[in-house]
Amino acid sequence: MEETQLRDPGFWLSDLPWAPGAEMPVVEGEVPGLIFFRTSGSTGEPKWIGLHREALLCSAAAVNRHLGVTASDVWGALLPLHHVGGFGVLARAFEAGSEFRRFHGKWDPRAASAWMEKEQVHHCPMVPTQIHDLVAAKLRAPRALRTVVVGGGSLPDALGRAARNLGWPVLASYGMTEAGSQIATQKIDQLETDYQAFPIPVMAHWRVMPTPDGRLEISGPALFSGMIRRVEGCLKYEPRKGSSFLTSDRVLVEERGISVLGRADRQVKVLGELVDLDDLERILGPDVLVVGLPDARKGQELVLLAIDENVAQRVESHNARVAGPWRIQRWMKVARLPRTPLGKLDRREARRMIENLS
């Protein structure tokens, strides 16, 4: 479907199911008229998250109000439209009656920066990898740019400050496909302070609740309606159960907002102790990836991938400071860490790399 058709009011009034960037999967039984975004969980099994058009427009309206978007602004899309972060840009432009511009071609920081300058883009979401590349190239922000909401992962404090020093108006956010995009986003007035990734203010259309074990539960009008997934060998649509959704993210909820601590499914048992792999990666420093692999004796074996020439010394120093369950048992130096097309660390591919290198 062409972008011009997606901006037609008729598309947003339609009750037909649709999947951006792909054909609708063949599903057993009836499927409601939702927009379906394909994702894959920790198992790698594909699923399609379905959101009502009204939910996507509710999210769009909330983001537009949060960022002060007007009809005279220009939204820029650097993310693919089959991803909720890219599709959300189109929804926001439609909701605000503003202009929409899309960057075509392979990601390149210089080309993207020049494109934003030429198109006079005011608002343009990005992922941390793109911010890293812009900073590494020492590119200054285009003059018209007012906000860059960074999603798809946490933007480290040092990188966020470096980006702001080059004029990039980066705002940390937290969201997911099940929420139609953003759940929490920094406010524009925070651009006047030093960048800090957390806490992030919760947006007005969401209610967030931490569970006793620290996981985040969300409810609100932009929540997904259901999903298509494989059940007993067949793809079936399953409506959401209940009015809220329990995420796999561990968070700290404060008056100032939420801080994401990691994922519940990133905790493994080693020698009977619960080890948080996200915490390990933060301790070990940048450009590392830690995975847990099944081990008959320990329960899990901790394996490190790193691009650092001095990885052996880093591992030795780390292991000398921590108790047995938190020690790295194996490490491998690699030319690059595996990433998804949106720049997130690809942990399933990391496991395959380890198996091939072992």
What local confidence, expressed as pLDDT, does residue 303 receive? Answer: 96
Per-residue pLDDT at 70 exceeds 60? yes
Classify 46 as helix, strand or coil: strand
Average pLDDT (38-58) is 85
Nearest to 328 by CA among 309, 345, 306: 306
C-alpha separations of 236 from 41, 125, 224 in Å: 17, 32, 16
What integer pLDDT is reported at residue 41 of this predicted model?
A: 56
- Structure confidence by residue, pLDDT tens digits, 272-309: 888 989 889 988 988 899 999 988 878 899 999 999 88
What's 189's DSSP letter? G
What backbone phi and psi angles, to 5 degrees, belong to 302? -90, 125
- pLDDT value for 45: 72
Residue 28: count other Cβ atoms within 10 Å of its Cβ. Answer: 13
Question: What is the rounded distance in angstroms from the CA atom of residue 203 to the CA atom of residue 225?
Answer: 20
Question: For position 152, what pLDDT does the model report?
Answer: 87
Assign 298 to helix, strand or coil: coil
pLDDT at 318: 94
Look at residue 141 in the predicted model and tell me its pLDDT.
99
| Structural domains in the chain, sorted by start | 3-262 (3.40.50.12780), 271-357 (3.30.300.30)
Mean pLDDT for the chain?
Answer: 93
230-250 mean pLDDT: 94
Does pLDDT of 79 surpass 80?
yes
Average of pLDDT values for 206-233?
95
Mean pLDDT of 227-241: 93
- pLDDT value at position 7? 85
C-alpha distance from residue 62 to each of 57, 175, 181, 290 (Å): 9, 13, 11, 36
Write down the H helix ranges in the chain.
Answer: 3-6, 9-13, 53-67, 84-96, 109-119, 128-136, 157-165, 277-284, 311-321, 347-357
Q: What is the pLDDT of residues 307-348, one digit of tens each?
A: 988 889 999 999 999 988 999 999 999 999 998 888 888 888
Rounded to whole angstroms, how far apart are CA atoms 38 and 43? 14
Per-residue pLDDT band for 21 (boundaries 50, 70, 90) equals: confident
Whether 1 has a pLDDT exceeding 70, the answer reads no
pLDDT at 276 (0 to 100): 87
With 0-12 CB in 10 A as exposed, 13-18 as middle and 19+ as buried, what is 324? exposed
pLDDT score recorded for residue 2: 66
Single pTM value for the model: 0.85
Q: What would the mean pLDDT of 91-114 be, rounded to a whole number?
A: 96
Contact 209, 217 (CB under 8 A): yes
Mean pLDDT of the 156-169 span: 97
233 or 68, which is more confident?
Answer: 68
pLDDT of residue 246: 97
